[in-house]
Chains A and B, each alone.
Chain A
Amino acid sequence: MSVQVRIPTPLRRFTGGSEEVAAAGTTVGSVIDDLERQYAGIKERLCDNEGQVRRFVNIYVNGDDIRFLNNLDSELKDGDELSIVPAIAGG
């Protein structure tokens, strides 16, 4: 099963500049694991040592914040869109 993942500017160095990539998985957590398989190093940016999503990282499934769904266990359907949204920088 495949979902589209929107990659914010600060993480595009991992995806070779791609703004959107495809990843496989049935939950947000398994999609992040698949992203890590494709783009080594990206998971560490998104999750802490305990595997939890970092406090300042916002992940949305079709526009809904996963904190208000089921965090990393939030389920995904084929064709869902997952967005990683950064905090605001700079002035």
Chain B
Amino acid sequence: MASSATGSASGDASARPASSSHAPRVTSVLDLVGNTPLVDVTKMAKGLSPRVRLLAKLEGLNPGGSVKDRPALWMMRKGIESGALRQGKTVLDSTSGNTGIALAMIGAALGYPVSLVMPDNVSLERKRIIGAFGAKVIYSSGMEGSDGAILLCREILKKDPDAYFKPDQYFNEANPLAHYESTGPEIWEATGGRVTHFVAGIGTGGTVMGTGRYLKEKNRNVQVVAAEPEDALHGLEGLKHMASSIVPGIYHEEELDRKIPVPTEDAYELCYRLGEEVGLVVGQSSGAALYAALQVARELDEGIVVMIFCDFGDRYLSTNLWHGWVEWAKRRRPR
């Protein structure tokens, strides 16, 4: 896959699909977590230096459909190793959605029941996917956002602490470790060690912390950049505005080189453009990562900017992201 990192951005229509001779055969769906490809999205930026590439890591290709498969798998495995998770226990956590889907999938694959606390206004798709994995959903008030789910989850756990294993994605070091051990090395290898900038949105902070640490260990000049919602009230599902939130224990802002505030509407606009101009329909947080990556790339004379596209857009089809977007985009972007 190394060639995909820096290779042709020509979009050659005669290009043939990759040979299937390397298609893996696995025994468990969990063996399919990670090893996601980088795709060149440099064409999204007009007027860049020709020596700058923009590469997006397509985390939507994980079996659970998002980047969250990685931390969820690492947290569950660490729990089993330490004995904190054993037969008879239910996996319980609060989530805005993608971590819930990942935990539900892994619970199904490993044979553990899963209960998830989510704000009641998460997208319909998420609720249904989680149900399809046989997990139970407990709803917290949408008015309280993801922090409301965190607090309700703590209450449930307090009532019967022995019944549950709580992966605790906001405070579990296995979350950034997943990215340190998988996302980081994959990016390093796929770019032949030439990555100069890493950009990711902040939800729990696990991706940007763990991947950033690995890349900086390999080359301390790699710049680690976080994309953060511009305001407390935003529409970037999955991302957190840290100043107004319960700050995750795994998040250490001092390790970042830079934070870029992202206006929701601009991230949405980039999601629409990615669909039409690249052929990638992604979720809100990918638009946010691209917004920040474009800002970084425009300042460069040379470099490889790698960003995380957390998931695909189809799990948001019922949300504001896609509701009435054509009319909105036309108003905003007259053609």
Contact = CB atoms under 8 A, between A and B. Distances in A.
B146 A89 contact: yes
B142 A55 contact: no
B240 interface: yes
Interface residues of A, number: 25
B145 A10 contact: yes
Interface residues of B, number: 47
B182 interface: no
Interface stretch (B18-26, B94-102, B105-113): B94-102
A69 B121 CA distance: 19
B317 interface: no
Contact of A45 (B119, B144, B231): B231
Chain A CB within 10 A, most for which of B206, B233, B244, B265: B233
A58 B170 CA distance: 27
B238 interface: yes
A19 interface: yes
Interface in B271-322: 319-321
B234 interface: yes
Contacts of A10: 145, 231-234, 241, 244
Contacts of A55: 235, 264-265, 268, 320-321, 324-325, 328
A57 B118 CA distance: 19
Interface of A: 6-11, 13, 19, 45-46, 48, 54-58, 67, 83, 85-91
